[in-house]
Structure 1
Amino acid sequence: MFAIGLPTRLFKSLALWLALPLRIALFLLCFTPVATYASQLTFNKTVTPDDIQFKYRWLDNEGTEQTIAFSLPNSALKVAPTTQANYKPEIAQRYVTVSLLKEAKKVDPREAVVSVTHENDAINIKVKSTKPNKADQILSQLKDVQRTAYTDYLDKHYYTRFTTLFNQQAVKPDHLRYVAQTFESLRPISEAFYDKVDRIENNRAYLQLMTSWVQSIPYDSLEDRVASNGSGFAPPLGLLMQNRGDCDSKAVLTGALVRAFLPSTSIIMVFLPHHALLGVAINAISEDEKLEVEGKTYVLFDPTGPALIPFGDISEDTKRYISTGRYQVEHID
């Protein structure tokens, strides 16, 4: 409306000027890299009396449609939990307290008096005795029981202690244990991918294809490894059954699959504050992102998605974390 009555030359100049931002935007769009995101086209799961059959269709990082099908025996669901119980400190304390009270009952009341109470979200143990050194001896025994009971509670619920980058003492799902207990049962998946890769190709082709498949599985974000108390983490078999997982869950599944494929190759899990990725000690090429740990070079890769990042590459954010030393490493046996 505002152009009515303007001279033709001025109108053309004005139209050209208004079109410049659009032209610039289109130019930048053509020459700016655009992240490619994983796309799972179909997922089918069939449960039979003997096994669970899985079928997938997805687009890899080159936009090529890929398919995979495999079946896992029902016994695979029994090798490790398929869900991760949330860590609740009050329940852990109750478990430890029961063990302490059982041990305290064994103390002869003529030798010492033991009290076990909760104080400021902590377990407080007091021992009184008229005999020299007896109180210290019993207290030391009860402290051992306390540590053993807590370790037992963590072990039963597939948790482990860890120290964060900020030197916080915390617990997290026992990722390495899940890998160790599930990789054998996941071997049919590894074999299915191996059958799709040309035999003359190297390990890289297998890892690239398998990584794109894991990336295509719908992604749940990991808000905080410490604050989440394990909620959101899906063990490998659970992830497959629900077809969804966060970065820790996908890294553990991938670690198990790589271990099934490369039983003697060194593998690491690399933990960032809110992310997880993997490294594998195979022959690297110049373009690979690498990390040296204890004198060994690992090719890094990120199977978590939703970005389709090729094997041997990682995101810019991840590069910054690693270059500044803000990461932790765990070795997969």
Structure 2
Amino acid sequence: MTASRDMLGYEQIRSKVMLQAQAMATQISTPTAKLKLRSYGQTYELSSTYQEGHMGEANALSNRVRSYIDGAYDDIRDSTYYTYDKDRRELLINYEDIVHDFRDVIGATHEFFQARDVGKTHSAMINDRLNFLQSIQYDDLKSDPFGMYTPIRMLVEKRGDCESKQVYMAGLLKMLYPAKAVFLVLLPDKQHIVAAVEMPEAPDNLTYYKDGKRYLIVDATGPSLVDVADTNILREKWDFDFGKQVWNPIHL
């Protein structure tokens, strides 16, 4: 039931690819151009030393190793939710893939709430969904190879971390507001993630401005019940106005 692309963690992927790439770097090095590959967590550094007049050879060999790494990560694309960012040279979870693959589970939850949405305000509907996810036991899942749970696995295990809950919340928001922009917002400086939904109808004091649009910021982590009226509290807590952010769009 839960055996899927979330069974393979980045450390397993990285170790396998890096060991093979290091072996390749050693194998293709020549007396006039030598390569050395070092890995650091999710990223790596490829350096070269070469004799005078052999810089072109060193560059060509380095490109072969980089192409191998890129290709190796592409090959495992269908067996994991991790994707390789070639610019950042990092393995990153593709949250949109998770939402898409588990849209039936998220959809069933949405239908449950939709039957109770009649006559409710936007805030009340969002808060119902937030409270549901915040009530699920929090677990940092540090012992799990993948590091987060997919929606079905979180329901089966009855626990989840911030990523698990925010991905589920983003899917629910997209089903509730299919015409509105929904994002998962990574906050690398705080090692946290929240969800955001475009909401021009909401009061100015409850929204966050980005690129001329207003967004509600919601945090499904729990266990405390933080509702949509707390956007400004979340902005301050997670340093939204000054910290680094990575906005990942969510589609179905």
The partner residue of 1:93 within 9, 18, 26 is 18
Whether the 8 Å contact between 2:70 and 2:84 is mirrored in structure 1 is no
What is the Cα deviation at residue 332 of structure 1?
1.4
2:233 aligned with 1:310:
no
3-state DSSP of counterpart to 2:183: strand
2:117 aligned with 1:197:
yes
2:146 aligned with 1:146:
no
What is the Cα deviation at residue 118 of structure 1?
6.8
Equivalent residue number for residue 42 of structure 2: none
**Alignment deviations for residues 131-182 of structure 1 (CA, whole Å, 9 cap, x no partner):** xx8887676455423322134336632113469xxxx864332222212322
Q: Distance in 2 between matches of 1:169 and 1:316?
A: 34
What is the Cα deviation at residue 290 of structure 1?
1.8
Q: Distance in 2 between matches of 1:95 and 1:157?
A: 19
Q: Distance in 2 between matches of 1:256 and 1:119?
A: 39
**Alignment deviations for residues 7-66 of structure 1 (CA, whole Å, 9 cap, x no partner):** xxxxxxxxxxxxxxxxxxxxxxxxxxxxxxxxxxxxxxxxxxxxxxxxxxxxxxxxxxxx
Q: Distance in 1 between matches of 2:166 and 2:154?
A: 11
The partner residue of 2:82 within 139, 146, 159 is 159
Whether the 8 Å contact between 1:269 and 1:279 is mirrored in structure 2 is yes
3-state DSSP of counterpart to 1:323: coil
> Residue 251 and residue 222 in structure 1: after superposition, are their counterparts in 2 closer, same or farther (change >3 A)?
same
The partner residue of 2:139 within 213, 216, 220 is 220
3-state DSSP of counterpart to 1:234: coil
Identity rate, percent: 20
> Residue 150 and residue 253 in structure 1: after superposition, are their counterparts in 2 closer, same or farther (change >3 A)?
same
Whether the 8 Å contact between 1:270 and 1:327 is mirrored in structure 2 is yes
Equivalent residue number for residue 163 of structure 2: 248
The one-letter code of the counterpart of 1:157 is T
What is the Cα deviation at residue 85 of structure 1?
2.4
What is the Cα deviation at residue 283 of structure 1?
3.6
What is the Cα deviation at residue 288 of structure 1?
5.0
Whether the 8 Å contact between 1:186 and 1:257 is mirrored in structure 2 is yes
Whether the 8 Å contact between 2:208 and 2:217 is mirrored in structure 1 is yes
Higher helix proportion, which one? Answer: 2
The unaligned stretches of length 5 or more in structure 1 are 1-73, 105-111, 127-132
Equivalent residue number for residue 235 of structure 1: 150
> Residue 95 and residue 175 in structure 1: after superposition, are their counterparts in 2 closer, same or farther (change >3 A)?
farther
The unaligned stretches of length 5 or more in structure 2 are 40-44, 50-55
> Residue 160 and residue 177 in structure 1: after superposition, are their counterparts in 2 closer, same or farther (change >3 A)?
same
Alignment of 1:25-174 (within 5 A): 81=5, 83=7, 85-88=9-12, 89-94=14-19, 96=21, 119-121=37-39, 140-141=63-64, 143-153=66-76, 156-161=79-84, 170-174=90-94
Whether the 8 Å contact between 2:8 and 2:79 is mirrored in structure 1 is no
2:225 aligned with 1:300:
no
What is the Cα deviation at residue 263 of structure 1?
2.2
3-state DSSP of counterpart to 1:172: strand
3-state DSSP of counterpart to 1:87: helix
Q: Distance in 1 between matches of 2:60 and 2:37?
A: 22
3-state DSSP of counterpart to 2:175: helix
Report the RMSD for the aligned CA atoms in angstroms.
Answer: 4.0
Q: Distance in 1 between matches of 2:57 and 2:10?
A: 39
What is the Cα deviation at residue 235 of structure 1?
1.6
3-state DSSP of counterpart to 2:184: strand
2:101 aligned with 1:181:
yes
2:185 aligned with 1:270:
yes
Whether the 8 Å contact between 2:5 and 2:79 is mirrored in structure 1 is no
Q: Distance in 1 between matches of 2:114 and 2:90?
A: 38
Name the TM-score, length of structure 2 as normaliser.
Answer: 0.73
> Residue 154 and residue 326 in structure 1: after superposition, are their counterparts in 2 closer, same or farther (change >3 A)?
same
**Alignment deviations for residues 285-326 of structure 1 (CA, whole Å, 9 cap, x no partner):** 337532222222111111111110112424746424112234
Name the TM-score, length of structure 1 as normaliser.
Answer: 0.57
- Alignment length (residue pairs): 237
The one-letter code of the counterpart of 2:115 is D
> Residue 270 and residue 117 in structure 1: after superposition, are their counterparts in 2 closer, same or farther (change >3 A)?
same
Q: Distance in 1 between matches of 2:6 and 2:60?
A: 42
Q: Distance in 2 between matches of 1:184 and 1:210?
A: 16
Whether the 8 Å contact between 1:84 and 1:234 is mirrored in structure 2 is no
Q: Distance in 2 between matches of 1:266 and 1:119?
A: 41
Whether the 8 Å contact between 1:184 and 1:260 is mirrored in structure 2 is no
Whether the 8 Å contact between 1:82 and 1:237 is mirrored in structure 2 is no
